[in-house]
Structures are given as structure tokens and as C-alpha cells.
């Protein structure tokens, strides 16, 4: 039996996660897990925001501060 199929489930899992993350970003849903990982690895001295605060901050960044603009 060949070893060719050993990495297939792992690569499929990776591709599935990458696709899900891409789709979330396309529709504007931020990836909290990626943010937490970034904070732990790059800014270990700072506490990450809660999910709720992170979500509000991302919405504010995407849609602005009540300026009433459409596009």
C-alpha cells in the first residue's frame, strides 16, 4: 500500500479551514481565533479583547461611525 494518501485527510482539513475563513472574511465576519492567536504570539503582554468587543470593533472598522454612507 502506498503512503500517498496519508497526508490527504490533513490537507483536506487545512483546505476546509482556509475556505471557511475566506468565506467569513468575504462576508465581513472577522476571525476571532486568528486574532487571539496573533495577540498571544505577537503581543503576549497585552490581553486580547473579548469576542463581543472584537466583533464591535471590527463592525466599527468596516461600517464606520454612523456617517450614514452607503458605499
Give the pLDDT confidence score for residue 3 in this predicted structure.
Answer: 53
pLDDT in tens, 40-57: 999 999 999 999 999 888
Q: At what angle do helices 32-42 and 51-63 cross, to 10 degrees?
A: 110
Q: Please answer whether residues 24 and 31 qualify as being in contact, where contact means their C-beta atoms are separated by less than 8 angstroms.
A: yes
Along the 71 residues of the chain, how does pLDDT read in single tens digits? 455 555 656 777 888 888 887 887 777 666 888 889 999 999 999 999 999 999 888 888 877 765 555 55
Give the pLDDT confidence score for residue 43 in this predicted structure.
Answer: 95
Give the pLDDT confidence score for residue 18 in this predicted structure.
Answer: 84
Amino acid at each position: 500500500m502506498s503512503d500517498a494518501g496519508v497526508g490527504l485527510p490533513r490537507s483536506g482539513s487545512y483546505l476546509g479551514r482556509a475556505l471557511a475563513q475566506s468565506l467569513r472574511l468575504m462576508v465581513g465576519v472577522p476571525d476571532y481565533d486568528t486574532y487571539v492567536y496573533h495577540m498571544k504570539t505577537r503581543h503576549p503582554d497585552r490581553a486580547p479583547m473579548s469576542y463581543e468587543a472584537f466583533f464591535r470593533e471590527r463592525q466599527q472598522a468596516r461600517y464606520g461611525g454612523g456617517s450614514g454612507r452607503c458605499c
